[in-house]
Amino acid sequence: MYDIKWIRENAEAFDTGLKRRGLSPLSASLLALDDSRRSAIAKAQGSQERRNALSKEIGKAMGAKDVALAESLKAEVASLKELQPELEAQEKAAKEALDDQLAAIPNRPHDDVPEGADEHGNVVKSVRGEAPEKTGGRLFGQNFAPKEHFELGEALGQMDFERAAKLSGSRFVVLERQIARLSRAIGQFMLDTHTEEHGYTEVMPPLLVRDDVMFGTAQLPKFANDQFRAVAFEMPEHLRQHGPAAEIWESLADHWGSEAGKLEDATFKSVMQALYDDKVREDERVQIGAFIEGLRRDLAVARHGQARGEELAKAFAGSLWLIPTAEVPLTNLVRESIVSEEELPRRYTALTPCFRAEAGSAGRDTRGMLRQHQFEKVELVSITTPEKSREEHERMLACAEAVLKKLDLHYRVMTLCTGDMGFASQKTYDIEVWLPGQKTYREISSCSVCGDFQARRMNARYKTKDGKGPFFVHTLNGSGTAVGRALIAVMENYQNADGSITVPEVLVPYMRGVTRIEKA
């Protein structure tokens, strides 16, 4: 998030950064909103100052026994007092309008980030190892066509997408036996590497977080539809027996699929009332789950501060977001705090489940584990000073690379262009691992430096060793790495002609000596 004062003082640089992102200039419109905010503040302050001055004049008039003048001044004070709530409302509305605009603008890229419209503009930074042969997997002497991970897993009887779909729908998987253990081994190996060799502090954070925490790392408001929201809904006893009435679905018919927050107030209230209606049908009971999921999608609270968001937040008090990545809770560990420079850098790591709705990826990577609603990832987060953030970015990349080197996987590092970077990033490196089954590179880690962009949203600051400040910290995040994709890479790169999978040497201790995964 941006400082409007900085934009006012650096309007040209701000617009240039947006242009590199493929966006139109916004400084003029933002400064106009800021002028409105300033004007509203001035009016409210002027009114209050006038009331204070009139109060003194009333005292003087009363002292001089000028009753008529005193009454006239009191009437003006009363008038100003009635006007004050309107002036304060104007000030609040002007501030919210500006904040909403600022919250929707992506971070400015560093000057050395290559320009480009999409992934085709990314630039190769480095390549690890020689380009592998496109047949034969790791066993270059054998002539066989490598299979994709889901072909291997299903043939081994240890990776099941059909049963997962019966449990949860598409984009889920059930892993069993040695492949399940291999996945666990990969996660533990990565976590041990980062804590024991790279100096990261292991954290076991909450998997459910509040709106302001998601806002802090910039998942909200822009990416609400990519998230899952858990609603703490206590179903009344009569609904347990009967279920929601058919009228609920009829009342939603004209609004289902609308943009978040646009459902009419009257409709929303009528639906909530209908949920508590005794006249309900047993055969519709199961639809309560679909109703709550629909509200999560269509009525997702963008962020608090918006009137609609506040209303819905009250209606769903206690609802929380499932984390899309441990970056969210780890980075927010310093929210609303002032740390000392001596405590920096803080380096955190966590192995957690992650949850993503993948709303914008319909039709992409529908086979296999590449794009799941639920997956595990080892996350790396650094909190540091502005002077050290670039250096920390390179260090974080090296830590993620070290994992793949130990697994002896071929990969390349890409510097993402301006059109392919994440919303909060100033600069991003993607590590792409070679998958012989697909005969292509696929992202397995993404390491980003965000500057003070997230820190401003979280109000995370530090004081220097000599007591100066507080100043905003710089934040960084990276995958160290995605466990599911590392599992895919190991399976495809370590596959054998007979369909078995050799366990990488570094993982054998975590597998209790198992060196090969075969069909049971």
- Give pLDDT tens digits for 254-294: 444 443 334 444 444 454 444 444 444 433 433 444 454 44
Alpha-carbon gap, residue 115 to 134, rounded angstroms = 31
Sequence-distant (≥ 6) Cβ neighbours of residue 333 within 8 angstroms: 203, 205, 346, 348, 383
What mean pLDDT is predicted for residues 306-328?
A: 68
Res. 162 pLDDT band, cuts 50 70 90: very high
* pLDDT tens digits along 205-234: 999 999 899 999 999 888 888 898 887 655
pLDDT tens for residues 120-129?
999 999 999 7
Rounded Cα gap, residues 430 and 440, in angstroms: 15
Question: Distance between alpha carbon 146 and the CA centroid of its chain, in Å?
Answer: 35
Helix (H) or strand (E) run with residue 427 in it: strand 427-435
Query: Which H helix or E strand runs over 320?
Result: strand 320-322
Q: Is 130 helix (H, G, I), strand (E, B) or coil?
A: coil
Return the HEC string of 466-481. Answer: CCCCCEECEEEEEEEE
The pLDDT of 390-398, averaged and rounded, is: 98
Whether the per-residue pLDDT at 506 is higher than 60: the answer is yes
How many Å apart are CA 296 and CA 301, to the nearest integer? Answer: 8
Closest CA to 477 of 347, 288, 308, 335: 347
Structure tokens belonging to residue 399: 């830590």
Give the C-alpha separation, 519 to 499, whole Å.
8
Longest dimension (CA), the chain: 110
Give mean pLDDT, residues 329-356: 97
Residue-wise pLDDT for 406-431, tens only, equals 999 999 999 999 999 999 999 999 99
Cβ-contact 493, 436 below 8 angstroms: yes
Lowest mean pLDDT across 89-103, 381-395, 467-481, 504-518: 89-103
The sign one gets for the Cα dihedral 34, 36, 37, 38 is positive
What value does the mean pLDDT take over residues 153-161? 96
Taking the model in full, what pTM does it have?
0.81
